[in-house]
Structure 1
Amino acid sequence: MKFKTWDINLKVRLFGEALLDISFWTVFPFLTLYFSAALGRTTTSMLLIFSQILAVFAALLGGYFADNFGRKRMMSISVIGEGLGFLIFAVGATNLLHSPYLSFFGFTLASIFMSFYQPASQAMIADVVSPEHRSHVYSVFYMMVNIAVVIGPVLGSIVFHDFTVQTLLTITAADLLLLFLLQKFGHETAPLVIHPELRASSDRKNIWAVLKEQLTNYQLIFKDKIFFLYIIAGIIVAQAFMQLDLLFPLYIQEVIGDTSFLGITISGERLFGVIVSINGFCVALLTVVVTRLMTRYKEKFVFMNSSFLYGISILMFGLFTSAWGAILAIILFSFAELMTVGIQQNFVSQLAPEDKRAMYFSAAGLRYTLGKVIAPLAITLSTLIGYFSTFFIIAILAFISGIIYYYMYKQFEKRQQLQKGRE
Structure 2
Amino acid sequence: MRDKFSFHPVVWTLLIGTVFARGASFMALPFLALYLSNTHGIHPIWIGVTIGLSPLTGTLGGFIGGYFSDRYGRKKVILWTIFVWGLVYFGFSLATHIGTFMVLNALNGLCRSFFEPSSQAMMADLTSVDKRKRVFSLRYTAINIGASLGPLLGVYVAQFSTSLPFLLTGIMYLLYGVTLFIMLHRYSITHSIPVHQLPMLDSLIVIWRDKTLLLFIIGGVLVNVGYSQIDSNLPQYIQNSFSEGVALFAKLIALNAILVIILQIPLSLVSEKWPILRVMILGSVLFAIGFASFGYVTTIFGLMIAMAVVTIGEIFIFPSTSVFIDQIAPDNRKGTYFGAGQFRSIGNFTGPVLGGWLLQDFGGKLLFSVIGIIILCSIIFYSLGYSNIQKKD
1:202 corresponding residue in structure 2: 197
1:277 corresponding residue in structure 2: 254
1:31 corresponding residue in structure 2: 32
Residues 34-113 of structure 1: pairs in structure 2 closer than 5 A? 34-37=35-38, 38=40, 39-92=42-95, 98-113=96-111
Inter-partner Cα distance in structure 2 for 1:64 and 1:347: 18
Structure 1 window deviating more from structure 2 (323-332 vs 393-402): it is 393-402
1:95 corresponding residue in structure 2: none
Inter-partner Cα distance in structure 2 for 1:278 and 1:314: 15
2:144 corresponding residue in structure 1: 146
Inter-partner Cα distance in structure 2 for 1:229 and 1:110: 27
Contact 2:70–2:332 (8 Å) recurs in 1? no
Question: What TM-score comes out, normalization by structure 1 length?
Answer: 0.80
Inter-partner Cα distance in structure 1 for 2:389 and 2:61: 35
Structure with the larger RCO, 1 or 2 (CA within 8 Å, 6+ apart)? 2
2:289 corresponding residue in structure 1: 312
Inter-partner Cα distance in structure 1 for 2:342 and 2:297: 32
Counting aligned pairs with the same residue, the percent is 24
Q: 1:134 to 1:159 in 2, by over 3 A?
A: same
Q: 1:342 to 1:139 in 2, by over 3 A?
A: closer
Q: Tell me, what secondary structure is at the counterpart of 1:202?
A: coil
Q: CA deviation at 1:150?
A: 0.9
Q: CA deviation at 1:121?
A: 1.4
Q: Tell me, what secondary structure is at the counterpart of 1:319?
A: coil
Alignment of 1:215 onto 2:204:
yes
Inter-partner Cα distance in structure 1 for 2:179 and 2:389: 49
RMSD across aligned C-alpha pairs, in angstroms?
A: 3.2
Residues 226-245 of structure 1: pairs in structure 2 closer than 5 A? 228-245=214-231
Q: Tell me, what secondary structure is at the counterpart of 1:189?
A: coil
Inter-partner Cα distance in structure 2 for 1:236 and 1:104: 24
2:189 corresponding residue in structure 1: 189
Q: 1:356 to 1:127 in 2, by over 3 A?
A: closer
Q: CA deviation at 1:82?
A: 0.8
Structure 1 window deviating more from structure 2 (311-320 vs 178-187): it is 178-187
Letter in 2 for 1:73: K
Q: CA deviation at 1:314?
A: 1.6
Inter-partner Cα distance in structure 1 for 2:335 and 2:125: 18
1:373 corresponding residue in structure 2: 349
Q: CA deviation at 1:273?
A: 0.8
Q: CA deviation at 1:374?
A: 1.6
Q: CA deviation at 1:359?
A: 8.3
Q: CA deviation at 1:286?
A: 1.0
Q: CA deviation at 1:387?
A: 1.8
Q: Tell me, what secondary structure is at the counterpart of 2:298?
A: coil
Letter in 1 for 2:66: G
Letter in 2 for 1:375: G
Letter in 2 for 1:336: G
2:20 corresponding residue in structure 1: 19
Structure 1 window deviating more from structure 2 (67-76 vs 377-386): it is 67-76
Alignment of 1:384 onto 2:361:
yes
Q: Give CA-to-partner distance per residue, 1:81-116, whole Å, 9 cap, x none.
A: 111111111111xxxxx3232233223222211221
Inter-partner Cα distance in structure 2 for 1:100 and 1:161: 22
Q: CA deviation at 1:356?
A: 9.4
Q: 1:166 to 1:288 in 2, by over 3 A?
A: same
Q: 1:190 to 1:395 in 2, by over 3 A?
A: same
Paired positions, count:
387
2:176 corresponding residue in structure 1: 178
Q: Give CA-to-partner distance per residue, 1:279-308, whole Å, 9 cap, x none.
A: 111111111211233356565444333322
Alignment of 1:397 onto 2:374:
yes
Match of 1:137 among 135, 138, 143: 135
Q: CA deviation at 1:403?
A: 4.8
Q: Give CA-to-partner distance per residue, 1:30-78, whole Å, 9 cap, x none.
A: 1222223423211122233344222222111112222343333322211
Inter-partner Cα distance in structure 1 for 2:329 and 2:54: 33
Q: CA deviation at 1:170?
A: 0.8
Question: What TM-score comes out, normalization by structure 2 length?
Answer: 0.86
Contact 2:117–2:335 (8 Å) recurs in 1? no
Gaps of 5+ in 2: none
